[in-house]
Structure 1
Amino acid sequence: MLLSRSHLNRVPLVARLNILSQTRAVSDKTSTRKPRLKKTTLLDFAQPKQKRVGSRFETHPDSPEDKTNLPPRDKWRQIFAWVPVNDRVSLSNSDTADTVAECFVPEGSTNKVIIEAFPGPGQLTRSLLALPENRIKRLIVLEQEPKYLDYLRPLAALDPRLTIIPYTALEWDTFDRIEEQGLLEDIETLEWDQGVHPKLQFISHLPITVYGEQLIAQILRLIPNRNWLFRFGRVKMNLLLSEYVWQRLTAPPENALMRCKLSVMATATADFQTKLYDELQPYAQHFHPTLLKKASDTIKISNRRIGVPFQAVEITPLVKQVINPEKLDTWDYCIRRLYVRKATPLNQCIEDLGPGAQSLIPKLSATIDPKTKIREITVSQWASIVKEFDEWPFAPTDLGINDAKLDNYGGRGLLNRF
């Protein structure tokens, strides 16, 4: 029985000590304090660490010997546990992969040369190869993960149409290797207004990290100057990407939350269409990896987490390009400089283009309300800003972005080549 302080003071000293000792013993038994951690010494680092089963470069014990066929979907999380999956999403449902393959390369396609990036272990690759043979002449797969390559190489041994380039699509040198092997020598170069290229196509699962956004941003940037695959003409791209990236790509000026630099460049260079959405929901029934715990009924779209809805889309370069290839750097400069303060009216931040740029406002007033916020500016209005800036006698000559804070594309490393 616990006594209050007033009652305890009336108890004789010896009895009081006994009560306190009993109370302390009970407290020690019921204590929830965590035990003190063992101090780490240099000797601990010298001890050999216990190895987990398998590794990124070793075959998992549950992996089947015959890797021509993929393991059951419920085993993927274990077998591919050592693959860095936080940024890689790939189709795992074979029926869904068949639907996507038929959508991307429909009936009527003939002798296509397809570059497939980030295929994972190759569920979609298998479905593409299973299409009528006359549809695909050559399938070039870009994949660098050893565990995934184990399931792709047997396909190349069985089907001569498949060529594997064991490098990541995040490095432009990978595409040089395609040309060095002569895999695009028979591709005809078409005039830009001759329609979508009927023979060359790009297909990819888009990584869900910022590197995925970097990739699509720089691909779009290559359209106006007709570089990369676009030197052959208007090459169609089919992507499996997250709803989050899709909203950023296609956000109109009135979408204050998702409108960004990527939205402006996308709208200026290409046409975007959703090809499959309902057929790919819910995420867990169609894609790998799945969440370890059950996802909530409502998943926020504005994030890059695993489990965000995915969709199949088609991106086609526009015939008429708003961006003059010779002014591409000017477009980059103006958009990046002004989007630093995207919620600010144009007349309050135009000085970010250079000292004295306020003098451009009277000329821009005919096409843009000076009080328009940066994120609400349309592509045609951006064209007016770029035109007036380019004709401005006092425009800066160095259009490089030297302020790291202005560069939200994640750095100037892997993807900055063209």
Structure 2
Amino acid sequence: MRVKLHPKPYKDIVKSVYGRKSVINYEKLCTEVTKHNKRWGYGDNTVIIDAYPGFGVFSAALQEAIRPKKHLMMEPHIQYHNYLQSLADPSVNTLEVLKWDPFRWTSFSELQDNHLYTPQMHTREEVHPDILFVANLTMPQGDQLLTQYLNCVQNGSWLQRYGRVRMLLWVKPVIGTKFMLREGMMGRSRLSVQAEACTDSQMLSTSAMYKGPANHDAFEVTPAEVLPPTPSFVPQLLEVTPKPVMPDHLDSFDYVIRMLFILNTKPLRESLAILGPGALEQLGPQVEDILETPPRDLPMEQIYRVVRVFHEWPFKPDVLFDFFERELP
């Protein structure tokens, strides 16, 4: 599929954008994907799983630059779906436009059940070369999906059970910024720490409206290159690459960062007190030198230190994991 379209036909054919923002500069996207694919190394053995492709311009750039073995586009909204069908070249049998909702986890297992692709396990020593996941998460439920995708990276579930599957995600700038924040930065959160611990991530795009951290050679997206052309925000492209090794004691790690960042700007002693009855009194002496440091300002090695001390505590709560996250595929 190769498209070079302008806003007028988009507006004429798709009357509702379903809360999403889409970048529509095909030439720029194609140039950037081609540039980054020299580093990624995707090619004719790669399957692209493309969630919420919308207008399909980024999808077309991926198709042109990578020339994948399969490109599975999951678009549940009827106007987008019909529009994508009208763009698809019937002679290109690598492309499938599916009316399946990526919000349903079972949609991904149905890809295999319908023999659309057969994922192979790959060593964690390198990024999986044969699967690339792409999604537009600029709609309201996109924040929730990003958190769930990150949980899957951490827990090795969903697509991540096959190895280190890279994700290219269009996100709202505020979420991309939060994802990339590091120690000492205002707004650092549990999401920021989990992303730093479990992924090597970078922002691939920037804009004049965006003030967060970005890759030094990030390409600029202007409001004129976005549909719908409202001034609220310009979507940013986030590259999320799982690390080879996840943090030790995952149950304890997940619980500790969840609790610490409830009070992320208060001294650590206040956060320790909510880890469990007696936690401050019994764990505090083991991390006494950082008790006055807010969790927001703790480097990762000190967060791991708190996790280790908590994990070895014989009186820690019996149930640490959130039930919903246990149910992820």
Task: Please state which band the TM-score falls in when normalised by the shorter chain.
Answer: 0.7 to 0.9
Instruction: Supply the distance in 1 between the matched residues of 2:76 and 2:107 (Cα, whole angstroms).
Output: 10
Write the letter of the residue equivalent to 1:73.
P
Size of the aligned set, in residue pairs, is 315
Secondary structure of the residue aligned to 2:274 is helix
Aligned with residue 223 of structure 2, among 249, 272, 284: 284
Helix, strand or coil for the counterpart of 2:128? strand
Q: Give 1:104 deviation, angstroms.
A: 5.1
Asked if residue 241 in structure 1 is aligned to residue 175 in structure 2, the reply is: no
Which residue, 49, 65, 80 being the options, matches 1:115? 49
Q: Are 2:257 and 1:331 aligned?
A: no
The question of whether the paired residues in 1 share the 8 Å contact of 2:3 and 2:26 is answered with: no
Secondary structure of 1:244 counterpart? helix
CA distance in 2 between counterparts of 1:90 and 1:105 reads 21
- Residue identity in the other structure for 2:166: K
User: In the alignment, what sits opposite 2:241?
Assistant: 316
The aligned counterpart of 1:201 is 132
Task: Say whether residues 1:268 and 2:197 are aligned partners.
Answer: yes
Deviations 1:252-306 (A, max 9, x none): 12112x2011001000001112334367545322221111xxx4xxxxxxxxxx4
In structure 2, relative to structure 1, the CA distance for the partners of 1:80 and 1:129 (3 Å cut) is same
SS in 1 for 2:131: strand
Note the C-alpha offset of 1:103. 4.0
SS in 1 for 2:165: strand
- CA deviation profile, 1:373-418 (whole Å, cap 9, x unmatched): 122222222222222112112111122569xxxxxxxxx69x9624
Counterpart pick for 2:272 among 350, 375, 383: 350
C-alpha displacement of 1:309? 3.3
* 1:364 and 2:294 correspond: no
> Contact (CA 8 Å) 1:237, 1:316: kept in 2 or not?
yes
Could you say what secondary structure the match of 2:153 adopts? coil
Q: 1:347 to 1:105 in 2, by over 3 A?
A: same
CA distance in 1, matches of 2:101, 2:115: 19
**Quick check: 2:54–2:80 contact (8 Å CA) kept in 1?**
yes
- C-alpha separation between the residues in 2 aligned to 1:275 and 1:373? 30
Match among 175, 178, 184 for residue 117 of structure 2: 184
- Contact kept, 8 Å, 1:281 with 1:309, in 2: the verdict is no
Give the drift of 1:353.
0.9
Q: Is the 8 A contact 1:250 1:266 kept in 2?
A: yes
Q: Offset at 1:240?
A: 2.5
For 1:363 and 1:287, locate their aligned partners in 2 and report how far apart those are by CA, in whole Å. 52
User: Following superposition of structure 1 onto structure 2, how do residues 19-418 of structure 1 map, counting pairs within 5 Å?
Assistant: 72-77=6-11, 79-85=13-19, 88-103=20-35, 105-106=37-38, 109-111=42-44, 112-131=46-65, 135-154=67-86, 155=88, 157-185=90-118, 187-193=119-125, 195-209=126-140, 211-256=141-186, 258-277=187-206, 281-291=220-230, 295=231, 306=232, 308-321=233-246, 323-324=247-248, 327-358=249-280, 359-365=282-288, 369-399=290-320, 417-418=328-329
Q: Could you tell me whether the CA contact under 8 Å between 2:180 and 2:202 is conserved in 1?
A: no
User: 1:120, CA displacement in angstroms?
Assistant: 0.2
Between Structure 1 and Structure 2, whose CA radius of gyration is higher?
A: 1
Given residue 100 of structure 2, which amino acid in structure 1 is its aligned partner? Y
Structural RMSD (CA):
2.8
Could you say which residue in structure 1 is the equivalent of 2:214?
Answer: none
Partner amino acid, structure 1, of 2:228: P
Cα gap change, 1:156/1:389 in structure 2, threshold over 3 Å: closer, same or farther?
A: farther
Structure 1, unpaired ranges of 5+ = 1-67, 296-305, 403-411
Identity of aligned residues (%): 27
SS in 2 for 1:320: coil
Classify 1:103/1:275 alpha carbon distance in 2 versus 1 (closer, same or farther; 3 Å): farther
Kindly provide the amino acid, as one letter, of the partner of residue 244 in structure 2. Answer: V
Give distance in 2, aligned partners of 1:165 and 1:364.
53
More divergent stretch after superposition (76-85 vs 331-340): 76-85
Q: Deviations over 1:26-45 (max 9, x none)?
A: xxxxxxxxxxxxxxxxxxxx
Residue-by-residue CA offset, 1:297-336 (whole Å, 9 max, x unaligned): xxxxxxxxx4x23333322111232x23xx3232222222
Does the 8 A contact of 1:165 with 1:178 survive in 2?
no
Greater alpha carbon shift after TM alignment, 328-337 vs 267-276: 328-337
TM-score for both structures, normalised by structure 2: 0.85
CA drift of 1:239 comes to: 2.3
Return closer, same or farther for 1:313/1:398 CA change in 2, 3 Å cut-off.
Answer: closer
Whether the aligned pair in 1 keeps the contact of 2:133 and 2:165 (CA below 8 Å) is yes
Structure 1's 103 and 178: CA in aligned 2 closer, same or farther, altered over 3 A? farther
